Every structure is written in structure tokens, then in C-alpha cells.
Amino acid sequence: MTGGTPPRRRDSARSRERLLTAAGELFAERGFERTTTRDIAERAGVDAALIARYFGNKSGLYIAALRAETGDAAPPDLLDAERLRALFDRAGRRGAGPVFRTAVLAHDDETVQDAARAQLHARLVTPLQERFTRAGLDRPRLRAEVAAAAFVGVLLARGAGALDELAAADVDELVPLVRSALAGLG
């Protein structure tokens, strides 16, 4: 008979989920480059070695965190008022996430850049492009990219606080203005 504490039961699914949650939060707060695996593991309350075990490396964790945010369902396009409200609310709580930052600043890691770019298109560009295509508009992808860039610009400028009224505006006041501006592209 040996003394000491009994071995801790491992829960890999819970540890993996905690890493994804912590990574999503930290990447949104600090960006990819300024987030360390040690910080992620510390926030998740797990050993940093688990990042390598479950995700391969920080880039793999980043990609998994991006995919975990959206799931498999296609989101409504940016002309949906509830979608706009939800995006503004989320950015207000967590800051503009890494996908939105990708629209204005490339990542140093090409794998991360490709994954973030794919998510940017899946979340913002493609749903609008499909709407504009159904409406029979010319250059639907270009229109969708301009609308996505305009939205990301508003979101980032609001978070930066340099434009006083934009930063202070209530989301309920902002959503119809942004929606109207984006609808003008269609």
C-alpha cells in the first residue's frame, strides 16, 4: 500500500474545451502574436504540454479556436439586424477578434493567415456575396468584400475610441446606420 494522494482523473474533453475557450479569449484580447501558449494554458488551468497533444502547436490551436466559434452553420449576412447587433455586442465584450483583424493586418504565420482569411470569408463575405448574387447584382463578391471591409472598419474604429461619437453610440442606434450603409452596396 502506498501513501499520498490518489491520482487525478484526466478529462481530455474538458481540458481541450478549456484550452479552446481560453485561446479564443486571449487571441481576441491580444491577437495571435502577443498570446503565448503558457498564457493560454494558465488561463485554462491545464498543462501547456496539452496544447501540443491536442492541437499540435499554437497555430493549430488558433485554427481550432476559430472553427469552434462558428460551428458548421452558415451565419446570416451582415444585413441581418440581429447578426449586426450580436457582432457589435460581442466586440464590445471581447474586442474585435482575430478574424476581423485579418481584414486589415496580415498574420506573420501563413497557416494562421490562411485560416483567419477563410473564416473572414465564411462569416462575412460569402453570406453577403450570396445575397448580392440572388439579387442579380454585378460583381457580387467585390460588393461583399467592400461591405465586409466597411463593417470591420466601423468595428475596429469603435473599439479604438478615436472617433468619439462612434465609440459612444448605443448599439441600437448604430445597427440601423451600419445596416443602411451596407445595404447601399447592394
Quote the DSSP letter at residue 86.
H
Q: Are residues 48 and 137 in the same domain?
A: no
Residue 84 predicted with pLDDT over 90: yes
User: What is the predicted pLDDT for the residue at 8?
Assistant: 52
Instruction: Write out the three cell numbers for 101.
Output: 483583424
* Confidence (pTM): 0.76
Structural domain including 22 reads 12-67
Nearest 5 degrees, angle CA 45-CA 99-CA 86? 85
Lowest mean per-residue pLDDT among 93-102, 119-128, 154-163: 93-102
User: What is the predicted pLDDT for the residue at 134?
Assistant: 95
- Assigned domain for 128 exists: yes
* pLDDT bracket for residue 75 (50, 70, 90): confident
Q: Are residues 33 and 82 in the same domain?
A: no
Q: Find all residues with CB under 8 Å of 33, minimum gap 6, and list them.
A: 107, 108
The domain tally of the chain equals 2
- Assigned domain for 136 exists: yes
Nearest to 78 by CA among 103, 61, 107: 103
- Assigned domain for 135 exists: yes
Q: Which CATH number is 38's domain given?
A: 1.10.10.60
pLDDT digits (tens, 9 = 90+) for 9-55: 568 889 999 999 999 888 878 878 889 999 999 999 999 999 999 99
Rounded CA separation 17/44 (Å): 9
